[in-house]
Amino acid sequence: MRTHHCLTTLLATLLLSMAAPAQAQDATRLLGWENGVSPADKEAQQKPVHTIAVDFTPGFITSEVFIDRTKKRWELGMGYGVGYRCLFPSGYGFGMYYAHSNTDYAEVHGSYAPDLALKLDYVGPQFVMGSYDKNGAGLYLALGLGYAHYKLYDKEASGVGLQFMVGADMRLTDHLTFGIGLNSIPHMFSSDEDTPKDRTNGFARLGLNIGLRYNL
């Protein structure tokens, strides 16, 4: 009789332990939770992430630049950029970016030549790929094609620019992130009388994007 009672108690305990997870799962379903994700978080994951970016962009002119018949390369210059990105839950999106840089070549043959700087401007749309959480933290890759302009000495011209960006955004607050990445923009222009036949007329710049992003 005692053995039968012990077996009954053990069986009842086992059945209750098996039923508890099912009851807990039913309770989470009633509350709208799924796989540990609340309804609010699930709704946020289904919305696109809108990002406004402001960057400080130190970088190098990687192409050859002739200043007073002296070949210059990998000259450091400063710049800035502003942009907008929209990334959908699918991991794809679009954007727009403007970049300006100023590379100073004032020191030529040991003498100082004021106002001798290569100024580059680029603006264009972007195709964006990436992965973000609801606060805008994550990784992204952007490709762009747009309008380019340069000014050097008394010359200036307009052309086409290609843009390649890759970077990471890290959460600071609910809607603010810190971003860092690389930004490469070849600027291409029509050849002129000063362009050697074996060269293309243009400038390539590789920069470091450091800035803040506000995520809507």
**pLDDT tens-digit profile of 1-40?**
444 555 555 555 554 455 455 555 555 555 555 555 455 5
CA dist 81 to 98, 121, 195, Å?
6, 10, 29
| Rounded distance between C-alpha atoms, residue 208 and residue 70, angstroms | 26
Each residue of 153-199: pLDDT tens digit? 778 889 999 999 999 999 999 889 999 999 999 999 876 655 555 45
Q: Where residue 46 falls among pLDDT bands split at 50, 70, 90?
A: confident
Q: What is the pLDDT, as a whole number, of residue 85?
A: 94
Q: What is the pLDDT, as a whole number, of residue 197?
A: 53
Q: What is the pLDDT, as a whole number, of residue 190?
A: 79
59 Cβ partners below 8 Å, 6+ apart? 76, 77, 79, 101, 183, 205, 206, 207, 208
φ, ψ at 44 (rounded to 5°): -65, -35
Output the pTM of the full model.
0.74
Given a contact cutoff of 8 angstroms between Cβ atoms, the answer to whether 165 and 141 are in contact is yes
Three-state DSSP string of 138-182: EEEEEEEEEEEEEEECCEEEEEEEEEEEEEEEEECCCCEEEEEEE
| Rounded distance between C-alpha atoms, residue 16 and residue 20, angstroms | 6
Each residue of 75-118: pLDDT tens digit? 899 999 999 999 999 999 999 999 999 998 876 555 555 567 89
